[in-house]
Structure 1
């Protein structure tokens, strides 16, 4: 598995008040605006993180890896909003999330993520920038 944690590492340094305030409150909105400005200043910089969308040259800084095709059962790509069930909420392991994808598909993984988000609309249990994040999943079973 290849995972780029640079945004997580930068975010952890900057989040402070965002994680301490109720999601959706005016104070949270102000802290979130400051956080986003700070992130913007570190986007596509060596001391920050890389996003290819706004700058295709950022792809030169991508983390890559290889695995033997015959060792794979599936290939899965997830946006950060779709990884929340595992890496933000801790309600599933990666093996469990892949089992959901194999048995019920992306809609079920996203449904479970939305259910968790709905159970904590103020971000008290799981501090986060917004109550719901966009969630995109591509899951390709190879067998």
Structure 2
């Protein structure tokens, strides 16, 4: 495997809640979410949740190559739940959650799973690209975030509107008509997007958190092919650098409305032989 990896926290003084890792023939990326601290009902925190779930999932999909990815994810969520013991209130509505992207090479095919708004970018041998993103969170968010987008980042009004927005999203988490994400309930894995792609059609496989896809899907400063060209030519660090440059030029979110100026950004770029 030839894998290039880069990650950058939104704030150097805070934990990076993204996690990515690879093993022979497999890779995972998770983007943790929560409001931080004791307010999640979990004493471990969001970064612990995403990294623990990610490590267990990578182990599961590698050790059980015939087991469906969704089943591996459900098993891993169950294991993480057991590790909380009696110290955490997992019924609390803001307990830690995480997006999940994972891939595994099987006989002649690449299997993938996507849950939540992280993305899988497939570079095709014919020069094209294909992108898999779970848009259910975006679709729910569009109905709720107009008050947030109308206000400058950092203002007291924006902070209050963002808190209301996140609270409303939490009420729609892991239920019909809302969106699905890895959390305390293994049944969320049943709602992941899964499929297989012929391996001989692919040149590369890239896993990205939504903090890294901003250059394309929020700022529209590049398309997916251009993003892939950056990854192939300069690597994941350069893609994240371009995201940060755009964010630096729009600190208050007037040009590109968003919940926060910076986000954890992670890219795992896997070039296939």
Q: How many residues align?
A: 143
* 1:73 maps to 2:203: yes
Give TM-score, length-normalised by structure 2: 0.51
Determine whether 1:98 maps to 2:228.
yes
1:40 aligns to 2:170 (yes or no):
yes
Q: Distance in 2 between matches of 1:75 and 1:59?
A: 22
Question: SS where residue 195 of structure 2 aligns?
Answer: coil
Contact 1:75 1:141 in 2 (8 A): yes
- Distance in 1 (CA, whole Å) between partners of 2:230 and 2:255 is 23
Give the structure with higher Rg (CA).
2
Q: Which runs of 4+ in 1 moved over 3 A?
A: 53-56
More relative contact order, 1 or 2 (CA 8 Å, 6+ apart): 1
1:136: Cα distance to partner? 1.1
Matches of residues 1-143 of structure 1 in structure 2 within 5 Å? 1-143=131-273
CA contact (8 A) 1:42 1:49 kept: yes
Aligned alpha-carbon RMSD (Å):
1.0
TM norm structure 1: 0.96
Deviations 1:6-47 (A, max 9, x none): 011011010011000001110000000000000100111111
Structure 1 alignment gaps of length 5 or more: none
Q: What CA distance in whole angstroms lies between the structure 1 residues aligned with 2:256 and 2:184?
A: 29
More strand by share: 2
